[in-house]
Amino acid sequence: MFSFTSTPAARSLLFAATLTASYSAQADIVLSSTRVVYAQSAKNVTVNLTNKGNNPLLAQVWLDDGREDANPQTLKLPFVVTPPVSRLDPGKGQTVRITYLGQPVAQDRETLYWFNVLEVPPKPSADDKQSLLQLAFRTRIKLFFRPEGLKGSAASAAQGLKWSLENSNGKVKATIRNDSPYYVVLHSGDVVQNGKTYPLDLAQVAPFSSISADVKGLTAPGKGVVKFNTINDFGGLNQYESPL
């Protein structure tokens, strides 16, 4: 039996951000991808969920707009996700369908949303005398909505990043500028100067924006190259090199 009900109080508890720890060592529900790319021309996109555990689970799915702790019932997003709740028996799967409703979204750049899966374990039986603490496990991955007609490509966006170094309060920082309409998700990177390598603390760069990253161990900016890895649409790594 599952400890899931449809009362407002139960729904609020179900979605609470505090329920993001695992009741076991790791999540049992595995997603078919580590990110979702929704091309505007697509009728819908799908994500497959599989229960790799030994017990039946409930999976509740929803999207958010970056406000991780917001109540999904209050979010007004241009998508519908079906089914919102599924039972997954051990070794079984469920296909979740995401459909764009055609409402206004920025057309000159990608928009980032988040796909959430909350797995709810079954309620312990009355015969179970052990002391158990059961928590739901939440998985959250990026969903990029990609309008039609954007110039260039996601791959060329990574190649076109502009890098520069500067001193900032006694530390060297790298500025990364993205002039493309695509998100560039930076996985890792290093500044190489005079044969020495200095790691970068990187994050994603939104369209038409820039970020600042710490260069660990470097005491003064200078000429060199930056070698970096990005995560592509399929969750793999692409390697690039750019002069400084």
Tell me what pLDDT residue 23 has.
39
More reliable by pLDDT, 145 or 14: 145
Fold agreement between 26-146 and 154-243: yes
Burial 180-200 (b: 16+ CB within 10 A, else e): bbbbbbbbebbbebeeeebeb
Domain borders along the chain are 26-146, 154-243
Across the chain, mean pLDDT equals 88
85-88/196-199 β-pairing: unpaired
pLDDT tens digits along 129-185 = 565 556 678 999 999 999 999 999 998 999 999 999 999 888 999 999 999 999 999
- The CATH T-level fold of domain 154-243 is Immunoglobulin-like (2.60.40)
Mean pLDDT of 218-228: 94
pLDDT tens digits along 121-132 = 877 665 655 655
DSSP class of residue 206 equals -
In angstroms, the CA 137 to CA 23 distance is 7
Task: Give residue 25's pLDDT band: very low, low, confident or very high (50, 70, 90).
Answer: low
Structural domain 26-146, CATH architecture: Sandwich (2.60)
